[in-house]
Amino acid sequence: MTTHAPETDTVTRDALAVLQPGFTGTSAPAWLLRQLEQGLSSVGLFGRNIDNPEQLAALTAELRQARPEVLVGIDEEGGDVTRLEARSGSSFPGNHALGHVDDPGLTRSVARELGRRLAACGVNLNWAPSADVNSNPDNPVIGVRSFGSDPALVARHTVAYVEGLQAAGVAACVKHFPGHGDTAVDSHHAVPRIDAGLDTLHTRELLPFREAVAAGTAGVMSAHILLPALDAGRPATLSPSVLSGLLRAPREEGGLGYDGLIVTDGLEMRAITATYGLERGGVLAIAAGADAICVGGGLADEDTVLRLRDALVRAVHDGELPEERLAEAAARVRQLSAWTRRATPATPPEPAPDIGLQAARRALTLTGAARYQPPATPPFVAAFTPLANIAVGDETPWGVGAELEALLPGTEIAAYGGNTGYDGDRHGPSGLCGDVLRAAGDRRIVAVVRDAHRHPWMAEALAALVAARPETVVVEMGVPQSPPTGALHIATRGAARVCGRAAAEVIAGERTGGGHHHT
Please indicate whether residue 202 is annotated as part of the active site. no
In whole angstroms, how far apart are CA 457 and each of 238, 434, 461, 496?
38, 14, 6, 23
Q: Cβ distance 59 to 78 under 8 Å? A: no
Q: What residues contact residue 311 under an 8 Å CB cut-off, 6+ apart?
A: 279, 280, 282, 283
Q: Cβ distance 506 to 369 under 8 Å? A: yes
Tell me the backbone φ, ψ of residue 453, rounded to 5 degrees.
-65, -20
Please indicate whether residue 394 is annotated as part of the active site. no
Q: How far is CA 515 from the centre of its chain?
A: 26
In whole angstroms, how far apart are CA 11 and each of 312, 322, 324, 406?
9, 11, 10, 57
**Beta pairing partners, 171:** 125
Give the C-alpha separation, 63 to 69, whole Å.
9
Q: Exposed (0-12), middle (13-18) or buried (19+): which is 323, by Cβ within 10 Å? A: middle
For helices 30-38 and 53-66, what crossing angle results, to 10°? 40
Catalytic residue among 188, 224, 455, 489: 188
Please spell the DSSP secondary structure of 316-342, one letter per residue.
Answer: HHTTSS-HHHHHHHHHHHHHHHHHHHH
Q: What residues contact residue 517 under an 8 Å CB cut-off, 6+ apart?
A: 364, 365, 366
Q: Could you say which DSSP state residue 245 is in?
A: I
Catalytic residue among 80, 231, 265, 291: 265
Give the 3-state secondary structure of residue 414: strand
Q: Could you say which DSSP state residue 29 is in?
A: -
Output the CA torsion sign for 489, 490, 494, 495.
Answer: negative
Cis peptide before 250 (omega within 30 of 0): no
Catalytic residues: 188, 265
